[in-house]
């Protein structure tokens, strides 16, 4: 045991001396220092909880974006801002807020690339329309419903692949509806709520619990001095931090465990939401919205093998690059994957969708999976058996949720009636 410990410590020292340390690795060293002084009778999981509770979120490296979107920006302008800055979400500033407004009055919420598209898709369901919060919300909803009804998407089902018009989103993105609807008009869509933010003095443990158990994709960190968002910490940023901590004792003691040892994947194969390769791609996006999940595997017809993955953020290709499918009268999930890959080969040097289907096995370690997710810049990985059949899915949230646990009464009754989302929610 002593020899193994010495080996880990030697690996840590060699790693630190041979390579320049990133801000994330330096943060990992803070955890290491705290880890070494924890009470010996504590379990490794309790030690990690104690370490993360002792570090303020202000220590997390500042994200380089700093992009904000004004509430009176159109959906088209918001999509363009997000696409040009290569980001998936941004805080929305209320242009009508006074100069001395508190942060709660200054910010409406966080708008996401996928949230815009999901809201648009939602308008194709007249049976349960959601009226935006603006005075003209009803008119916007009626206009949207009329447009999608004309496109034949009102009752889209698996059998409708041949009827899915390829120019639907192309027509939508050139429409006055898309150009004139303001970001504030869709502020009631489900991906905006709840808008929670942390103060700089809040702890890492609080942040990690919000990103895992409470299913937030990103957590804003506020500077109460000027009432503005100082940082936005995402699930991806946390996974990157963990990847940078390779060689540190606390990380190795946790990361060396096999996925099956820490209870991953959590979902059985029969409960995984899938779409077959010959189903319309819009069916995949509607399923993601209905089930509140961030991605869906595309399964070969008549089998159990996954040929690819479609995520909510891939909806951006329907909004920003409608020409990727202009040659199709209808576009299935399989054809969408092919069209996007062809498009990316011409326009992008690197993209997760160019890597093909990323999978793992149950006997891989947590560290191996973190390194894979970080290097491939993906949000989820699919677990397969030796024959390539789908066995499960593991998301960034799943991994973070295995890193920490919520102490009894930690948030009190703060989330009662608000969070968490339904148990099957995996956004």
End-to-end CA gap in the chain: 41
Q: What does 230-289 look like in DSSP terms, one character per residue?
A: EEEEEHHHHHHHHHTTTT-HHHHHHHTSBGGGGT---S-GGG---EETTSBHHHHHHHHH
Q: Give the closest residue to 200 by CA, choosing from 221, 175, 215, 186.
A: 221
What dihedral do alpha carbons 390, 392, 396, 401 form, nearest 10°?
-170
Contact call for residues 309 and 382 (beta carbons, < 8 A): yes
In this structure, are strands 89-93 and 69-70 parallel, antiparallel, or unpaired? parallel
| pLDDT given for residue 319 in this prediction | 64
Neighbours of 33 (CB within 10 A): 12
- 174 vs 319: CA distance, rounded Å: 10
| pLDDT given for residue 228 in this prediction | 81
* SS3 assignment, position 146: helix
Q: Which residues of 166-198 are buried (b: 16+ CB within 10 A; e: fewer)?
A: bebbbebbeeebbeebbbbbbbbbebbeeebbb
What is the H or E stretch that residue 400 is in? helix 396-401
What is the H or E stretch that residue 34 is in? helix 23-36
In this structure, are strands 380-384 and 359-360 parallel, antiparallel, or unpaired? parallel
- 150 vs 173: CA distance, rounded Å: 15
User: pTM value?
Assistant: 0.77
CATH (one of 3.20.20.140, 3.40.50.300, 3.30.1490.20, 3.10.580.10) for 69-125+162-403:
3.10.580.10
| pLDDT given for residue 303 in this prediction | 84
Report domain extents, the chain: 69-125+162-403
Write down the residue that tokens 């009470």 correspond to.
39
| pLDDT given for residue 48 in this prediction | 95
pLDDT (tens digit, 0 to 9) for every residue of the chain, 427 residues total? Answer: 333 333 334 344 444 444 447 999 999 999 999 999 988 888 989 999 999 999 999 999 988 767 899 999 998 898 888 878 877 788 899 999 998 888 888 888 888 777 776 676 665 444 433 333 333 433 333 333 333 333 333 333 333 333 334 445 556 666 677 788 899 888 765 344 456 789 999 999 999 999 999 888 888 898 877 778 889 899 999 999 999 999 999 999 999 999 999 999 988 888 899 999 999 887 888 888 778 788 899 999 988 899 999 987 787 776 666 655 554 446 788 988 888 888 788 776 566 666 678 899 999 999 999 999 999 888 899 999 988 899 999 999 999 999 999 999 898 876 664 544 434 433 3
Q: How many CA atoms lie within 13 A of 202 on its CB side?
A: 20
């Amino acid at each position: 045991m002593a020899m193994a410990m010495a080996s880990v410590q030697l690996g840590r020292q060699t790693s630190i001396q041979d390579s320049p340390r990133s801000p994330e690795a330096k943060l990992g060293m803070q955890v290491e220092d705290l880890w070494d002084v924890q009470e010996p009778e504590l379990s490794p999981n309790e030690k990690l909880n104690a370490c993360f509770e002792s570090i303020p979120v202000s220590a997390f490296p500042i994200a380089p974006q700093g992009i904000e979107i004004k509430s009176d920006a159109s959906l088209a302008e918001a999509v363009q801002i997000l696409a040009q800055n290569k980001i998936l979400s941004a805080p929305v500033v209320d242009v009508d807020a006074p100069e001395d407004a508190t942060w709660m009055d200054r910010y409406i919420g966080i708008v996401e690339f996928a949230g815009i598209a999901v809201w648009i898709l939602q308008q194709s369901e007249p049976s349960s329309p959601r009226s935006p919060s603006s005075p003209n919300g009803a008119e916007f909803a009626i206009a949207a419903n009329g447009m999608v009804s004309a496109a034949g998407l009102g009752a889209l089902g698996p059998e409708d692949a041949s009827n899915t018009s390829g120019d639907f989103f192309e027509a939508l993105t050139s429409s006055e509806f898309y150009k004139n609807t303001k970001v504030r008009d869709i502020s009631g869509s489900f991906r905006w709520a709840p808008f929670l933010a942390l103060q700089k003095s809040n702890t890492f443990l609080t942040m990690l619990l919000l990103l895992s158990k409470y299913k937030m994709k990103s957590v804003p960190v506020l500077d109460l001095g000027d009432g503005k968002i100082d940082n936005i910490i995402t699930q991806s940023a946390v996974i990157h931090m963990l990847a940078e901590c390779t060689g540190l004792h606390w990380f190795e003691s946790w990361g060396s465990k096999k996925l099956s040892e820490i209870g991953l994947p959590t979902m059985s194969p029969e409960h995984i939401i899938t779409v077959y390769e010959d189903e319309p791609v819009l069916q995949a996006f509607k399923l993601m919205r209905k089930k509140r999940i961030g991605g869906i595997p595309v399964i070969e017809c008549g089998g159990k093998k996954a040929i690819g993955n479609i995520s909510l953020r891939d909806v951006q290709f329907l909004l920003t690059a409608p020409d990727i499918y202009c040659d199709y009268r209808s576009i299935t999930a399989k054809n969408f994957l092919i069209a996007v890959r062809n498009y990316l080969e011409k326009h992008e040097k690197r993209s997760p969708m160019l890597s093909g289907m990323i999978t793992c096995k149950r006997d891989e370690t947590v560290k191996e999976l973190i390194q894979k997710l970080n290097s491939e810049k993906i949000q989820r990985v699919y677990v397969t058996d030796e024959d390539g059949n789908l066995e499960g899915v593991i998301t960034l949230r799943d991994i973070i949720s295995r890193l920490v646990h919520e102490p009894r009464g930690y948030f009190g009754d703060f989330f009662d009636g608000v969070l968490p989302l339904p148990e099957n929610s995996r956004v």
